[in-house]
Amino acid sequence: MMIPSSPLSRRTMLRGAGTMLALPMLDAMMPARASAAPLPPARLTIFYLPNGMINPSFVPTKVGPGLELSPILKSLAPFKSKLTVVTGLTQPNGNALGDGGGDHARGAGSYLTAAHPKKSDSDIHSGVSMDQYVAQELGKNTQVASLEIGVEPSSLVGSCDPGYSCAYSGTLSWSTPTTPLPTVVNPREVFERLFGDSDTIDRGSRLAQLRRNASILDFISEDTKRLTRKISIDDRRKIDEYMTSVRDLERRIQLTESQSGDMVVSDMKRPMGAPIAIDDHINMMLDLQVLALRADITRVSSFMIGQEGSNRSYTQIGISDAHHALSHHGGDVQKIAKLVKIQTFLVQYYAKYLKKLQDAKEGDGTLLDRTLAWCGASLGDPNLHEHENLSLMLAGGLFKGDRHIAADKALLSNVMISAMNAVGVKRDRLGDSTGPFAALDA
């Protein structure tokens, strides 16, 4: 390993023609004495599952170490050593508290805020969300404080649950109690936010170049050549692998835009750059998050694989019924079986995400080692619209893994306090929290 006596800055950028590209962690960024190398930064990512859980098929039967994966969780077997499953959590501020119906909106609106959403379709109010408290601190060292992305178009106006603004069910992230952060569903918009440099070139011109199949890598080629003359063969390989990933994602976005432009769709609006196939769309969003984390463009992201109350159908796994409609199963065994199949399918995407993090090498470890990858839903049994018996998966290297913790109605907000502490953001309270969730530190 060749480590220069004067290491490259972790903030080193490749630039050219209005483009900037952050780099993954390189050996050349380490101090000359490898033993003095600092740990890579900690990250927090949220992976949100809509419409609750079917707990009998989700909750592991054994409590304690030696995690035995339930049917819904089988795809997570490769990550068992770095996975903690927490069940039996509660989010009291998602309850009606005299406000009547609207549990989907309250579920998502309180999920990361632990605050009771105000029942209104215009005068909205919740609380600052966990991810945004983390972004306030970790974002001081990154270009982008946080990413809020999804695959279903949502709105911050209008009513999506009786009496509640769509803002509550369409996003998880709140920068202030009255400021929800919209999810971005267009991969092109996310890509431009991560890699565009609008201060030095007209954004419209930049997009036009990319839509002619130009690559940001073309614009930074000279800067890349200068850098690669100074670094080791191993670092050149890392840069080559990283740039291959960037270019592959560019091509997929460009192909999607080309195909979308050739289609006539009369009954729906599709944002430019959003794939027709939901599988392709989700995979693009997963890749964008990993690229952003790997290059340290951001250390915080939230991904709604479906907005709360989603009525998407999953024909690719043979289910044409709408998800939300199925969630009101009324004890029907056939509907429950379909819900289990949907939830198993969605958790498989979480497993894909973890694999992408595991495959991304960073220093002497992987990106997963320094990421807290949180995955869960804001409802327990969706048929009951319950805000207790919540289940949660915590993966990565920041907590001890291979265990199932039965929380016995512990507050979800206390787990959030522990999660923030794990990524280096110290807070005593969030919403209705009473302190860290001690079982995680045991």
User: DSSP for 109-138?
Assistant: HHHTT-S---S-SSS------HHHHHHHHH
Radius of gyration of the chain (CA): 22
Q: Which of 217-226, 353-362, 370-379, 382-391 has the lowest mean pLDDT?
A: 217-226
Show the CA angle centred on residue 329, arms to residues 324 and 331, nearest 5°: 165
Position 80 confidence tier, pLDDT thresholds 50, 70, 90: very high
Whether 289 and 317 have beta carbons less than 8 Å apart is answered as no
Neighbours of 203 (CB within 10 A): 12
Position 156 confidence tier, pLDDT thresholds 50, 70, 90: confident
Residue 349 in this model has a pLDDT that exceeds 60: yes
pTM, rounded to two decimals = 0.82
DSSP category for residue 179: E
The pair of structure tokens assigned to 58 is 């989700």
Q: Considering the domain 42-185+277-441 in this protein, what is its CATH number?
A: 3.40.720.10
- In order, the DSSP letters of 246-258 are HHHHHHHHHHHHH
Cβ contacts of 163 within 8 Å, gap of 6 or more: 99, 100, 101, 102, 119, 120, 121
Position 263 confidence tier, pLDDT thresholds 50, 70, 90: very low
Position 246 confidence tier, pLDDT thresholds 50, 70, 90: confident
Pick the residue with more confidence: 373 or 187? 373
Which pLDDT score, from 0 to 100, does residue 92 have?
A: 97
Position 233 confidence tier, pLDDT thresholds 50, 70, 90: confident
Show the CA angle centred on residue 77, arms to residues 185 and 299, nearest 5°: 40
Residue 72 in this model has a pLDDT that exceeds 90: yes
Position 143 confidence tier, pLDDT thresholds 50, 70, 90: confident
Domain ranges of the chain: 42-185+277-441, 196-273
Residue 5 in this model has a pLDDT that exceeds 80: no
The pair of structure tokens assigned to 310 is 């989603």
Pick the residue with more confidence: 132 or 248? 132
Which pLDDT score, from 0 to 100, does residue 271 have?
A: 37
Residue 440 in this model has a pLDDT that exceeds 60: yes
